[in-house]
Amino acid sequence: MIGSNPIVEALSAGGYRMTGPRRAVADLIAGHDGHFTAAELELAARERRLDISRATLFRALDLLTELGVVERLDLPTGEHAYVPCAPAHHHHLICSRCGRATDVADCGVAEAVGEIARRSGYRIDSHRLELFGLCRHCQAKTTTDA
């Protein structure tokens, strides 16, 4: 967990100052592989006695979203959550149980989108696909632990 953190790297690559709070947020996120809400992150920070004000936390999340190392997504419940991810186009596959998010390559989505464009006459500029289900691990554990 010590060592290169892609988020830290993105910050310095972007010319942003490396501050305590930002580093803390970066580490918090890096040590977390599911999606998380701002509130959850705040709680995690408090538990580890990292003192980050809410405003700073939101500002950091905004920044990281802009840098593309984190993406904001909308859960089916309407909650806003964030997932760490590589700054490239991809889709998110989210486990409804453990919250783990996996980046998904295209797998034919682009083609389908092209077909939709053709049929509708729209010029499609962007699309967002969010997939929800159970990861392999959680399927195996049937409905055991929380």
Alpha-carbon Rg for the chain in angstroms: 17
Backbone angles phi, psi at 53, to 5 degrees: -75, 155
CA distance 67 to 50: 23
CA–CA distances in Å: residue 77 to residues 31, 66, 74, 124, 139: 25, 24, 8, 26, 21
Answer with the entry of a second copy, DNA, none that 74 interacts with (C-beta below 5 to 8 A by kind): a second copy
Residue 62 touches DNA, criterion: CB under 7 A: yes
Chain positions 6 to 45 lying near DNA, rule: CB under 7 A, are 12, 16-22, 37-39
Residue 131 touches a second copy, criterion: CB under 8 A: yes
Q: How far is the CB of 66 from a second copy (least distance, A)?
A: 13
List Cβ neighbours of 18 (8 Å cut-off, separation of 6 or more): 8, 11, 12
Backbone angles phi, psi at 30, to 5 degrees: -65, -30
Residue 107 touches DNA, criterion: CB under 7 A: no
Beta strands 91-95 and 70-74: pairing type? Answer: unpaired
Chain positions 67 to 96 lying near a second copy, rule: CB under 8 A, are 72, 74, 76, 78, 80, 91, 93, 95-96
Answer with the entry of a second copy, DNA, none that 132 interacts with (C-beta below 5 to 8 A by kind): a second copy
Residue 48 touches DNA, criterion: CB under 7 A: no
Which residue, 20 or 31, is less far from DNA as judged by CB? 20
Stretch of 57-65, 104-112, 113-121, 132-140 lying at the interface with DNA (CB under 7 A): 57-65
